[in-house]
Amino acid sequence: MKISRIFCLVAFAVLASMTLLSCSCSSDHNAPDNDANPSPVDPAPSALPFAKGVDMSWLTQMESEGLKFHAPGSPVDGDAMQILRDTKGVNSMRLRVWVNPADRWNGIDDVMAKARRAHALGMRLMIDFHFSDTWADPGHQSTPAAWRELDIDGLTAKVGEHVTDMLGKLKAEGITPEWVQIGNEITPGMLHPLGHIDNPANLTRLINAGNDAVKAIFPDAKVIIHLDRGEDEWRYTNLFPKLQEHGARYDMIGMSLYPDDPTDAQPDTWKEMTDKCLANIRNLHATYGKPIVICEVGMHYSRGDIAKKWLTYLRSECEKLGYVDGIFYWEPQAPAGYNSGYTKGCFIDGAPTEALDPFKD
């Protein structure tokens, strides 16, 4: 009787195991492809140091015009990239790419010249594709002249070819970008009219073409979708749900943040805008599980003391979050009023001000 009972128990266990195995195999076979629409995942904090970056895309043009740079208190002219590395702690470089610029500035060959210099200085690299022959931003997302007669299939192919061309040249020289922007401040979309935000299916196709071209050459590079005005949550909640709905592939969310120029009467007007940006960062990360990078910041060149307070606060709060890769100051080497009126650099008489002191460790 005892043997018979044992036999029955063993038989039942074997049958149960076989049933479970069969269900498991059947479930795996018919399971949906979760990789096609992955759920947001909270990524581990980056093991790399906080990126203390600058965008110096104007540098070669400035040098061709005879502009000189020197360290604070030094009479000796030097390389602006090295000056910022050695005196301010800058460790990362962002460079924009235009398709067929009217002159050579920001074309692929010009970007390569600057990338070589940044690489030789040991800097990390962000490549910023504008997908235009000139500036791309919320007010200008013009398709390159040579691409304007293409349909969406042709335009998608051109995006992939352009990214492959630029990144292939970097790889051939052993230069690996850590971040790659697919579009610059694409709040209204990019490559208008076909890639307008009102046609999110087309926009997503263009983004995915860029993403896939990046990953084919540099699988570990982080692909960024970059919008302007990081303090304005609506801009982000208007775009990213549409991209998610259509299956956009990207790794990070990028922001610009340019606080209103403070006045003597209200020296801390920057803080409200910065706090709104930080709240937006927290909400976006909670919603999409993506790390963030602040691709552009700047403040009026004459307010280095206030810019120092602001950047100190911004860096501290971003580092506390643990999922912000870094901050990039836009064209800090620009003298007052450069190129038809840019005033948010932080060099005076060829030397950096205290605005970038918060990048020192």
Q: Active site residue: 185, 245, 272, 354, which one?
A: 185
Phi, psi of 262 (to 5 degrees): -75, 160
The token pair that represents 107 in the structure block:
């074309």
Query: Which among 287, 238, 278, 271 is positioned nearest to 255, based on CA atoms?
Result: 278
Q: Give the span between the Cα atoms of 292 and 295, in whole angstroms.
A: 9
User: DSSP letter string over 72-83?
Assistant: TT--SB--HHHH
Which residues, 6+ apart, have CB-to-CB distance to 290 below 8 Å? 40, 43, 250, 251, 252, 253, 284
Phi, psi of 260 (to 5 degrees): -55, 140
- Between vectors from CA 207 to CA 126 and to CA 217, what angle results, nearest 5°? 55
- Find the Cα–Cα–Cα–Cα dihedral 204, 210, 216, 217, rounded to 10°: -160
Q: Give the span between the Cα atoms of 94 and 129, in whole angstroms.
A: 11
CA 120 from centroid of its chain's CA atoms: 22
The SS3 assignment for 255 reads: strand
Task: Identify whether 272 is a catalytic site residue.
Answer: no
CB 251 within 8 A of CB 222: yes
Q: Give the span between the Cα atoms of 331 and 346, in whole angstroms.
A: 8
CB 230 within 8 A of CB 277: yes
Strands 351-352 and 347-348 come out as: antiparallel
Task: Identify whether 296 is a catalytic site residue.
Answer: yes
Q: Active site residue: 296, 317, 331, 354, which one?
A: 296
Which residues, 6+ apart, have CB-to-CB distance to 155 below 8 Å? 143, 147, 191, 194, 195, 206
Within a 10 A sphere around the Cβ of 303, how many other Cβ atoms?
A: 21
The token pair that represents 224 in the structure block:
């960024």
Active site residues: 185, 296
